Chains A and B, each alone.
Chain A
């Protein structure tokens, strides 16, 4: 009996070497281990007829052989199956299959990021006209007809002279024109962000005649400069990174009082001062406490309510992020796929 098992083993060892496909292997498995006619199965089945003294020894030997055969079959099966198949011509260096790869515009990314940051503290994004009345862009913002401060806005006008009670039509030069629009909705308190295209008569590598601004406006009872500082600092950390801070310095706008310039601490030197910044700070935009005259223009009682507003250029602010030093800002508005597909 033992001799039979040994010859079976020799036979298996010889045959497994000839196996070249899963079918061959299946056949081999059936030949030796098949439930009905497997040669080893037959031996194992015959064990019970052996004398007691041989049964144990032969049994152990036969079971051991079965284990060996099973292992050998599993090993070869793994080698033959797809994942383990060894193909010396397999080229790992071929490029992956090209899948659709679209690109959002940088400004969409910037606007989304800003919107989300402010949404988390309850500021709702709104949209107001880009072609706007003089009244909303200037007059209601405490800049009457001949105010010299208007010159700073380099405005595109639609009309040469006033055409109605709200004056001329113009392309809004700033998102602040949305302030009184928002107040006119008569839904207080207000926490809004207005992100919009704005237009100014200037075009050079750092100015495009169309650009984006964003504006934050909060009006409530007891809104303070401390709150403005809180919101600006929150933005600095969310947008630029947890180590950054914001600060405000005195400035002047007609529609806020007091008015501020907003600086963000420089990310390169962390406030020490370097060639990229002005003694550790980067100028980013303007802010202030809403001027009582503006609240009045929006039919809000300045004795009861106070508020702050802030705003700045989306392009300028986004391109301050690392790796985005784009030499000519106008590139954003040319449909050059060599540029757009980078982002």
Chain B
């Protein structure tokens, strides 16, 4: 949680001489992180304090008044529409030429002389929002009665300050308050803090009855309450409203403001009820009954269930315990008698209730971080004290305290050797003690230390490690040495999948392909495109949106989408991805995560041969030699038998490639042929090798002959290869050169050019090569009806 903390306010509790920058730097290194520091100053100018000395009605407007104000030097009359002005008030007066804030646009404007409904106004009495204080425009800002008149408002209010944005870690709700931060600051800077116990007047003149019954002491370990009477509800003084608004809390009225102020000051959430609205002079802490509802302070109705802890009067729930109060028992302008609540609630219960109701507050956020039950005591005293100062009134009951068990301070016995073991440096016992004492721990003993944890740390400091942390952070992590570990390096085999993934990527990038990364999560359409059985598909139960609702079962659909996204802009597209796919094999188990490779090639021509060449290159670079290209047994989801091949090693299909079928071409609106390829990385890894065996270089020169033949168009290249190679052992290689098709060759004919290489363990004579060549030509004529061109 983030807290906005006034540096001046903090300094009321701890003696700090550091500048705010020094404070922020040092504090962040040893305690909680100061994220930002903002200078606070008046955004207005030309505003002075003035006293209202007379008010008359505006001659031409019912809702306006003419107020005469005295600045000590002059008396001027201004037009004012605020309902809360009264003679004797000291108010902020903006004179002509003053700079103010226009709350509608949150920007400055210069006040000009105005004529309002026929009456000239020589200035303006300002509302809080016009001075940039807090968003209130219903009335003018009324200053305290002892405010000097005729002074510059910014000077009188001592606005110059720094507001720090401090990120409080979740384990330290105790540090999320002024007092908590002051304790930390005192320890960090090794100075004293000035946290005084409130001293309210607790004498009872009259006693007003209130009974408190806690039915769920596990969920509410402590409930403190006090009744106060003769209360005057009204606005809080400027300083209180200002502090709340700086912390981002909107001022409401003095009583609600007091509870919020204590939340900021001590980190203890409080609540205030109108005593007269509680039925039966009773507070019961119980679970809600089925069917009960509450209208909360946010103006919404909440349906409660038996899992929700509530504060109830004799009849109905009046608050959701630790989360939010009810509207019907809230303090209003007419309230005369109140009940303050300072209680402690079970963190899990508060968290579950807030979640179930989808109702969150500062209070629930603090309680769910596990506050100490000891914290209610000082809070309720402070509430009485502040009420007596700001709203009049007297206590009308003793401080009621329903406390499930007596608090016993937590004690830890600590072996100082742990410090060296975890920090890597020795810290002297004396210094350890000093640091812990600065943090409020009590320490005794000299070898094994007996440490008493202060109540406000009882929920986060549990054992050795926590003590080490406390000592280390105040000692300063930045003061610890920087050392590379010198212990033995463990010997581990590399994960082969990771190794081959990288090699495959390098090969493909070397061949000119671009690597893509797609989300593992896909939408329904992509899942349909992959066409896997539903039982294999992993569905996310709380997707962010429908575009990322399922885990992909295959890479192909997103690869094809990637082609579709680029096909209008690029003539040539060569992309691939190496990523996991996710397929369920057992309904209630984790899916199998398999690393796969898929890619696509789009060129101007010969897409199939391009992708085939790519696959051949990949296999060659991976030193996979004993593979075969075989026809698909049947059409697969992306390709048809006629225009695709599988890659097979020892009867295992390790991948396929080919042209994208019509179904997918229309699904992804391709205007050109697209070729894809797909492999399982694990299977490539199984056959791949880093080593290629050495083959002796032929000792004798080879001989080469080029041939061009005309054959039927249906004759496949492989048939020519077979017909050539079978002729004689001297034929070592046959290399395809080109195909040529022309009407002049005859109907359904094509011309093929290729190069035959002859090799032997001796120097070949031209004549013997020619003899073999003749045999080849003859064989081609006989078997394939070929004609030499």
Contacts and interface: CB of A to CB of B under 8 A. Distances in A.
Given A102-B511, A187-B492, A226 B593 contact: no
B368 A148 contact: yes
Contacts of A157: 540-542
Candidate in A226, A278, A340 with the most chain B CB atoms within 10 angstroms: A226
A337 B514 contact: yes
A22 interface: no
B494 A124 contact: yes
Given A129-B593, A197-B520, A252-B172, A158 B538 contact: yes
A91 interface: no
Given A156-B542, A157-B540, A258 B465 contact: yes
Contacts of A334: 565
A337 B484 contact: no
A169 B351 CA distance: 22
Nearest to A99: B512
Contacts of A220: 485, 487
Contacts of A306: 421-422
A39 B691 CA distance: 63
B422 A225 contact: yes
Given A104-B505, A122-B490, A130-B593, A229 B483 contact: yes
Contacts of B514: 102-103, 337, 340-341
A125 B590 contact: no
B170 interface: yes
Contacts of B497: 127
Interface stretch (B22-30, B270-278, B382-390, B655-663): B22-30
A226 B423 contact: yes
B523 interface: no
Nearest to A106: B517
A276 interface: no
Interface in B458-513: 463, 465-466, 468-469, 472-473, 477-478, 480-485, 487-490, 492, 494-495, 497-498, 502, 505-506, 508-513
A310 to B, nearest CB: 13
Contacts of A125: 494-495, 498
Contacts of B540: 156-158, 171
B33 A261 contact: yes
A147 B492 CA distance: 36
Interface stretch (A48-56, A78-86, A230-238): A230-238
A38 interface: no
B515 A104 contact: yes
B565 A335 contact: yes
Contacts of B538: 131, 158, 169
B489 to A, nearest CB: 3
Interface in A75-103: 99-103
B517 A146 contact: no
A229 B482 contact: yes
Interface in B542-586: 542-545, 548, 551, 558, 561-562, 565-566, 569-570, 573-575, 580, 582
B436 interface: no
Nearest to B573: A337
Nearest to B509: A102
Given A129-B593, A292-B465, A201 B542 contact: yes
B717 interface: no
A314 to B, nearest CB: 11
A338 B566 CA distance: 9
Given A209-B521, A306-B422, A108 B505 contact: yes
Interface in A102-144: 102-105, 107-108, 112, 121-122, 124-127, 129-133
Contacts of A190: 490
A338 B562 CA distance: 12
A251 interface: yes
B640 to A, nearest CB: 25
Contacts of B520: 130, 171, 197, 199, 210
Contacts of B423: 224-226
Nearest to B170: A149
Contact of B516 (A209, A252, A257, A335): A335
B347 interface: yes
Closest 4 CB pairs of A and B: A100-B512, A226-B424, A335-B562, A224-B424
Given A190-B490, A209-B521, A335-B516, 19 more contacts: A102-B508, A104-B506, A105-B516, A107-B517, A108-B505, A122-B490, A124-B494, A125-B498, A126-B495, A131-B591, A158-B541, A191-B489, A220-B485, A225-B422, A230-B484, A252-B169, A252-B170, A252-B172, A338-B569
28 contacts: A101-B512, A102-B510, A102-B513, A105-B516, A108-B515, A121-B489, A124-B490, A127-B495, A130-B580, A130-B582, A148-B368, A156-B544, A169-B538, A218-B485, A226-B483, A227-B485, A229-B477, A230-B482, A230-B483, A231-B485, A247-B29, A250-B469, A260-B477, A279-B21, A333-B518, A335-B518, A335-B562, A340-B575
Interface of B: 21, 24-25, 28-33, 35, 169-172, 347-348, 351-352, 368-369, 421-425, 463, 465-466, 468-469, 472-473, 477-478, 480-485, 487-490, 492, 494-495, 497-498, 502, 505-506, 508-521, 538-545, 548, 551, 558, 561-562, 565-566, 569-570, 573-575, 580, 582, 588, 590-591, 593
